[in-house]
Amino acid sequence: MGWTLTSLAAKASKALGATPAWARPDGVAHAAAVAQRGVRGEGDTVFARVHARRLTAASPADRKALEAAVSELGADAAVIERATASGAPLTAVAALAAAWHRLPDTAKETIRHPAGSGIGSVRFGAIRAVQVDQTTCGAAVMAMMLMTGDPFVAAWVATGRSLGDHLPPECAAALEIGARTIEERWQSLQRVLHREATHGALGPLPWPRAYGTPPWRVDNATRFAGLRFRGAIVDDTDGERVAAAVAHASAALRDGIPVPVYTGGDSASGLDQVVPRHVVLLTARSEAGFEVYEPSSGRVLPLAVDRVYGGGAKEPALGHWTRVCWMVLPRARKR
């Protein structure tokens, strides 16, 4: 099996005695305990906790309005929790609740589950949710993550509407590019996020568009429930580090937080394969492994846990690459 640039970097760091915070035993143990609560983010998610905090801090009138919004959506109350956690104004949350039952079923499904509700094609109405071109896999993943964390973005992609005069900044920027149809809105959102993630990636120098989205910028450019993120370099030949990464990814998914993953090849296939080449999004933990949004196909595909370890044939869920190079994980809050 060949080497990758990220595996070499991780090995060098380990040889110098440096252990990243996410790989320390106490953090791994905590992540494993969180992951054991269940395989899917249900009930006690990051959205539910942020919603509860905002409810507690609200005035009596605002609390009553939030409770009414939750009641209005009934079985879809999780949409209101996501809306509250996005930081949107209360007027927008109330407008979403008031408009919910008048939205088309296809739009409601996109808002409920932007990345789909299981294995299969991901569609926004009639279009498949694929990346714009070969350079925007990272931007497509970021867009899918943003829609998962902010239902107002998902509602705008699905309908072109703002709710309660609230238009998320990414959508406002996308309107400047052109966004008359669902497909145009989805594509323009990717272009906006790609521009944001590549800006300043090399300091004063421009980032080469052909190299896609730099992994060290995804953690800075990701907006999701008020969380902060960190990049985790993965040596997929180090069993202990892979187990730590899997524990953190599983804990994030249990909390309702998708996980961007960079993939690539290795030196056995040429030096151009040793750097991260593609981005996918872990969307759920299953009994057998993970469910993964793969943007070049616009599908959610299964990924067995043992495929996170280095080697093996080309894997469809990894975009037909063989190696896992980098994960973008939520930073743990101080406990």
DSSP letters for 252-292: HHHTT--EEEEEE--GGG-GGGSS--EEEEEEEE-SSEEEE
According to the model, what pLDDT value does residue 334 have?
47
Together in a domain, 186 and 54: yes
Together in a domain, 246 and 162: no
Dihedral (Cα; 132, 179, 214, 325), 10-degree rounding = -50
Dihedral (Cα; 180, 185, 187, 189), 10-degree rounding = 140
Together in a domain, 72 and 192: yes
Instruction: Give a yes or no: residue 207 inside a domain.
Output: no
Q: Give the residue numbers spanning the domain of 25.
A: 5-36+228-330
Sheet holding 323-330, edge to edge: 120-121, 299-304, 289-294, 278-285, 259-264, 323-330, 229-233
CB 282 within 8 A of CB 266: no
- Confidence bin at 118 (pLDDT 50/70/90): very high
Task: Please give the average per-residue pLDDT across 178-202, as a whole number.
Answer: 90
Together in a domain, 163 and 238: no
Instruction: Give a yes or no: residue 213 inside a domain.
Output: no
Q: What's this model's pTM, rounded to 2 decimal places?
A: 0.94
Instruction: Give a yes or no: residue 260 inside a domain.
Output: yes
Instruction: Give a yes or no: residue 223 inside a domain.
Output: no
Instruction: Give a yes or no: residue 218 inside a domain.
Output: no
Instruction: Give a yes or no: residue 335 inside a domain.
Output: no
Together in a domain, 305 and 240: yes
Q: Does 36 or 155 have the greater pLDDT score?
A: 155
Together in a domain, 108 and 168: yes
CB 210 within 8 A of CB 135: yes
If you ran DSSP here, which 8-state letter would residue 332 be given?
P
Together in a domain, 121 and 258: no
In whole angstroms, what separates CA 325 from the centre of its chain? 16
On the question of pLDDT at 209 being above 50, the answer is: yes
Together in a domain, 323 and 253: yes
According to the model, what pLDDT value does residue 39 have?
54
According to the model, what pLDDT value does residue 2 have?
87
Together in a domain, 142 and 108: yes
Q: What is the pLDDT of residues 278-331, one digit of tens each?
A: 999 999 999 889 999 999 999 999 999 999 998 788 999 999 999 999 999 998
Together in a domain, 279 and 190: no
Together in a domain, 94 and 15: no
Neighbours of 224 (CB within 10 A): 21
Together in a domain, 162 and 257: no
Count structural domains, the chain.
2
